[in-house]
């Protein structure tokens, strides 16, 4: 019996020893299966299996992490220490989030003129990506703008970790050799003592420069002496290309019947307030003006004072009669009071007599208007394009020839279907 019990005791001890060895081996195997230091790239998602050499020997759900991996911002480089517990066995682990990759981008070849300002470096790349923001983007070299060529400009992209990507950007440089174009210049007849608005109606355009410089040389003008003077307009673009235009300024003594602009403006404003309302558009206001001039001023060549445009306009607005010059100048005064940009066009060339009409700008587009009545035509012209004006004939005569170079280009789209001429309103 004693021998039997001793045998059982020995077997039990042996079994316990084997069991302990198995348990210790199992725990040690799981401990050795944990990877103590894991490194991932910035912005990369964290996967639990990255922390184990193999998940075949245990159920991944049996591994407990001391932190919530989903709450870690992987966009920020950092070291994080935590614990992994498997079946009670705790193993310390370090996670390193490192930024080792440089920013990426797509290069945009840049086309420019030699006179243009060099763009910002960020304008020459697109689809810029990096896990860390912001990204520094700067030129390492400047483009060669000395001649027409294609030069390579080196651009550096650097993230917050100091990773650098250097890309080559082709700069295609073209020389600007086209000078600006000056339009709207015309000869002046002004009175001694009056101020002269040299820039009124004058426009300068350039194929590249959006704001070419316009200078006016009137150094030869003696504002106290009657006579003819040459005034020069000089337009220069950013590349140094320039063009000039000359006009003749005629200075004359102010006639005794002269109407001061302030007097005319007060009269025009009073009439404008009576025939328009504040809620009208510029087009509606302009239509009321030409409708009024057509049916309230009567054509007459008797006792007409055309010594100045202000005199003719004032007589048209107060005496209600005059020639085509009167109609055009009365409309001009009303348009000025309404703040509608306008010009006077003079027939050129002409066979029998001069003729004047108005050129108005509505919504950025220029149109011809003429309130002067014609024999055999009872209405008036309102917002005609160049093409429509050229097709207007009465008794096989047009009479609207003029120097197009002196005025802005007209609109090309007709608005005639919107106009009720008889009622003087828009449809």
pLDDT tens digits for range 38-83: 999 998 999 988 899 886 666 667 789 999 999 999 989 999 999 9
Model's pTM, two decimal places? 0.52
351: left (phi over 0), alpha (psi -120 to 50) or beta: alpha
Please tell me the distance from the alpha carbon of residue 201 to that of residue 333, in angstroms, as a whole number. Answer: 15
| Residue 26: predicted pLDDT | 44
**65: which 2 tokens?**
């992490």
Residues 263-289 have pLDDT tens digits of: 999 999 999 999 999 999 999 999 999
List Cα–Cα distances, 163 to 46, 127, 139, 172, 199, in angstroms: 22, 17, 16, 29, 56
> How long is the chain?
427
Does residue 147 surpass a pLDDT of 80? no
282-296 vs 261-275: helix crossing angle, rounded to 10: 100
Residues 229-274 have pLDDT tens digits of: 999 999 999 888 999 999 999 999 988 899 999 999 999 999 999 9
Cβ-contact 340, 357 below 8 angstroms = no
Question: By 3-state DSSP, what share of the chain in percent is helix, strand and coil, each rounded to 5?
Answer: 25, 30, 40
**Strands 342-346 and 356-362: what pairing?**
antiparallel
Please tell me the distance from the alpha carbon of residue 261 to that of residue 255, in angstroms, as a whole number. Answer: 14
Cβ-contact 381, 157 below 8 angstroms = no
**333: which 2 tokens?**
């005064």
Residue 23 banded pLDDT, cuts 50, 70, 90? very low
Burial of 108 (0-12, 13-18, 19+ CB in 10 A): middle
List Cα–Cα distances, 4 to 9, 10, 386, in angstroms: 9, 10, 129
Alpha carbon of residue 79 to chain centroid: 48
Please tell me the distance from the alpha carbon of residue 291 to that of residue 123, in angstroms, as a whole number. Answer: 53
User: Average pLDDT over the chain, rounded to whole?
Assistant: 89
């Amino acid at each position: 019996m004693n021998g039997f019990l001793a045998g059982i005791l020995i077997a039990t001890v042996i079994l316990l020893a084997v069991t302990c060895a198995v348990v210790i081996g199992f725990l040690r195997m799981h401990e050795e299966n944990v990877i103590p230091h894991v490194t991932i790239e910035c912005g990369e998602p964290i996967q639990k299996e990255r922390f184990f050499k193999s998940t075949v020997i245990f159920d991944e759900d049996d591994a407990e992490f001391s932190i919530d991996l989903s709450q870690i911002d992987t966009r920020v480089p950092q070291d994080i220490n935590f614990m992994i517990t498997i079946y009670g066995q705790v193993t310390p682990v370090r996670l390193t989030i490192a930024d080792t990759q440089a920013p990426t981008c797509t290069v945009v070849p840049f086309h420019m003129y030699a006179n243009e300002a060099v763009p910002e470096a960020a304008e020459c790349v697109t689809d810029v990506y990096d896990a860390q923001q912001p990204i520094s983007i700067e030129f390492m070299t400047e483009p060669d703008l000395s001649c027409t060529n294609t030069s390579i400009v080196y651009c550096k992209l650097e993230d917050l970790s100091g990773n650098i990507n250097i890309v080559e950007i082709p700069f295609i440089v073209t020389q600007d050799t086209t000078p600006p174009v000056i339009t709207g210049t015309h000869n002046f007849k002004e009175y001694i003592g009056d101020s002269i608005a040299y820039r009124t109606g004058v426009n300068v355009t350039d194929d590249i420069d959006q704001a070419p410089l316009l200078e006016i040389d009137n150094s030869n003008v003696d504002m106290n002496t009657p006579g003819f003077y040459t005034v020069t307009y000089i337009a220069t673009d950013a590349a140094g290309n320039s063009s000039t235009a000359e006009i003749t300024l005629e200075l004359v003594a102010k006639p005794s019947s002269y109407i001061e602009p302030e007097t005319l403006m007060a009269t025009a404003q009073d009439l404008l307030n009576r025939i328009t309302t504040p809620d009208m558009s510029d087009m509606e206001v302009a239509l009321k003006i030409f409708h009024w001039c057509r049916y309230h001023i009567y054509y007459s060549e008797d006792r007409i004072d055309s010594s100045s445009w202000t005199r003719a306009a004032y007589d048209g607005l107060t005496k209600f009669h005059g020639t085509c010059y009167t109609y055009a100048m009365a409309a001009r005064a009303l348009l000025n009071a309404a703040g509608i940009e306008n010009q006077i066009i003079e027939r050129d060339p002409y066979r029998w007599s001069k003729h004047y009409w108005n050129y108005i700008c509505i919504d950025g587009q220029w149109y011809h208007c003429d309130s002067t009545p014609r024999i055999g035509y009872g209405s008036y012209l309102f917002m005609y394009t160049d093409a429509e004006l050229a097709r207007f004939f009465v008794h096989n005569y047009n009479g609207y020839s003029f120097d197009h170079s002196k005025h802005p280009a007209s609109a090309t789209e007709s608005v005639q279907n919107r106009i009720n001429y008889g009622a003087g309103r828009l449809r």
